[in-house]
Amino acid sequence: MTVSPITVCVTGAAGQISYSLLSMLAAGNVFGPEQPVTLHLLEIPPALPALAGVVMELLDGAYPLLHSVTQTADPSIAFADADIAVLVGAFPRRAGMERKDLLQKNLPIFKRQAHALNEHASKHVKVVVVGNPANTNAMVLAAFAPDIPRANISALTRLDHNRTMAQVAARLDVPVQSVAGVCIWGNHSSTQYPDITRATVDNAPVFDKLGGFEIVARDFIPTIQKRGAEVIKARGFSSAMSAASAIADHLRSWVCGEDHIVSMAVPSDGSYGIKEGVFFSFPVRCMGDGVVEIVKGIEIDEFSKRYIDATAEELYAEREEALALLE
C-alpha cells in the first residue's frame, strides 16, 4: 500500500459513540477502502483501563487498513500530527445543570485541547466538535487555536440532518436517498431549526405534502428535537450508532466531497444576517479536501426567519456567557 496513513484523533475514545465510530474508521468506511488510518485515542485517566479494552478489540478486528493505534490521557500525544480530530469527549450534562454550569465545565477542556491542537497537530488538521455544547465548544476551540484556520473547525449537526431526511422519507414513504433540500440551521440544541421548506423527493417539492408551516411547527420540529430522547426511552441507552454514523458522514463529506447539500456548523460569515463569531449550522456544499461553502442566496421566509433568529440569539448568548466565564 503506497498511500500514507491519515492520523485521526478521537477524544472520549472509550465512550459509546466512539465504540461505534472506531470500527467504521478502522474498516475504511469513512475515508475509503484505499486509505490506511492511524488512530490516536484520548481519554481521561479514570477511563484508561476501559480504553485498553477498546484497543484490544481494535487489534482483534485484524483491520487491514488500521496502521497503528495510540492510547493516552495526554492531549499532546493524542493530537501529535493529527490530520483529523474528532472531539467527542465533553463534560456531560447532569441533572439540575444549567447551561452556564455546562459551559463552565467544558470551557477549560476545550481551551486545553485548543492549545494542544495548535501546538502538536498537523497544520492542516480538520476538527469536528461533537461534545456538547458543540457549537460553543467549537467557538472556544477556534479562539484558543489561532494557527488553525477557522474553516478547518466545525461542529456536528449531521445527525439532526440525517434524522430530518429520515423523517421526511418516513412520512412520505419514500427511500431516504430520494430526499434532498433539507438542512439544519443554528445551534445543536433544542433551538435547532430543521428546515424542510425546500425539501424535495426525486427533485419535486414536498413541503406542502408534508403539511406546510403548521405541521413543521406543531409536529415535525418537536419530533426531530425529541428524537434523541425517544431513542433513549426505547433502547435504554443514548443514540451512539446513529451519532457515530453521522460523524462518519460529516468527515467523509468534508474530506472527500459530497454531491448533495448537507449541514455543518461552521464559522458564520455574515450570511443570512448571522453575526460573525459563532459556529452556526448552515446548508453547505462540500467540494472535497476540506473546502466547504455555505449555500448563499436562499430566500428565507418569515416563518423560518423566526426560528433562525431564535437559534442565533441563543448562540450569541452562549458566546457572551463563554467569554465572560473565560475572563
Partner 1 sequence: MLRSSLTSATRRGLSAAAAEPPTKKVAVTGAAGAIGYAMLMRIASGQMFGPHVPVELQLLETEQGLKPLKGVAMEIKDGAFPLVRGITQTADPNTGFGDADVAVLVGARPRGPGMERADLMNANAAIFAVQGKAINDAAKKDVRVLVVGNPANTNALVAAANAPDIDPAQFMAMTRLDQNRAMGQVAIKTGTPVRDVERVVIWGNHSSTQYPDLSNALVNGKPALDVINDTKWVREEFIPRVQKRGAEIIGARGASSATSAASAAIDHIHDLYVGSGDAWQSLAIRSDGSYGMDKDIWYSVPCRCPGDGVYERVLDIPSPDEYSAAMMDATRKELLEERDAVKHLLPAATRKQAGTKPARKKRAKKATA
Amino acid at 228: G
Rounded Cα gap, residues 321 and 316, in angstroms: 9
98 binds partner 1 (CB under 8 A): no
- Residue 163, marked binder: yes
**Backbone CA torsion sign across 139, 145, 150, 156:** negative
Cα angle for residues 113, 117, 123 (degrees, 5° grid): 165
Interaction between residue 260 and partner 1 (CB under 8 A): yes
Give the separation between CA 315 and CA 145, rounded to whole angstroms.
20
Is 152 labelled a binding residue? no
Q: Cis bond leading into 133, ω under 30°?
A: yes
131 marked ligand binding residue? yes
Any idea what the Cα angle at residue 45 is, between residues 41 and 51, rounded to 5°? 40
What gap in Å lies between CA 322 and CA 90, rounded to an integer?
Answer: 15
Residue 288 engages partner 1 in binding (rule: CB under 8 A): yes
156 Cβ contact list (under 8 Å, min separation 6): 128, 129, 130, 134, 188, 246, 247, 250, 264, 265
Tell me: does residue 256 bind partner 1 (CB under 8 A): yes
The least CB distance from residue 179 to partner 1, in Å, is 8
Please check if 29 is assigned to a binding site: no
Q: Is position 162 an interface residue for partner 1 (rule: CB under 8 A)? A: yes
260 classed as catalytic: no
What does the DSSP 8-state code read for residue 45? G
Burial 77-91 (b: 16+ CB within 10 A, else e): ebbbebbbbbbbbbb
The residue among 96 and 236 lying less far from partner 1, judged by its C-beta, is 236
Residue 36 CB, nearest approach to partner 1 (Å): 9
Q: Are strands 279-288 and 262-267 parallel, antiparallel or unpaired?
A: antiparallel
In this complex, which beta carbon is closest to partner 1, that of residue 243 or of residue 294? 243
Q: Does 63 bind partner 1 (CB under 8 A)?
A: yes
Minimum CB separation of residue 80 from partner 1 in Å reads: 19
CB of 1 to partner 1, least distance (A): 8
Q: With 0-12 CB in 10 A as exposed, 13-18 as middle and 19+ as buried, what is 166?
A: middle
Report the residue from 72, 239, 268, 304 that binds partner 1 according to the rule CB under 8 A: 239
Choose, from 40, 67, 115, 188, the residue flagged as catalytic.
Answer: 188
- Under the binding rule (CB under 8 A), the answer on residue 62 touching partner 1 is yes
Q: Contact with partner 1 (CB under 8 A): which of 150, 188, 198, 227?
A: 227
Please state, in angstroms and rounded to a whole number, the distance separating the CA atoms of residues 9 and 72.
11
Choose between 71 and 113: whose C-beta lies nearer to partner 1: 71
Does the footprint of partner 1 cover residue 259 (CB under 8 A)?
yes
Provide the 10 A C-beta neighbour count for residue 27: 15
Q: Which residues form the interface with partner 1 (CB under 8 A)?
A: 1, 6, 19-20, 22-24, 27-29, 31-35, 49-50, 52-54, 56-64, 66-67, 159, 162-163, 165-166, 169-170, 175-177, 227, 230-237, 239, 241-242, 244-246, 248-249, 252-253, 255-260, 288-289
What residues are labeled active site?
Answer: 188
Annotated binding site for NAD(+): 106, 130-132
Annotated binding site for substrate: 93, 99, 132, 163
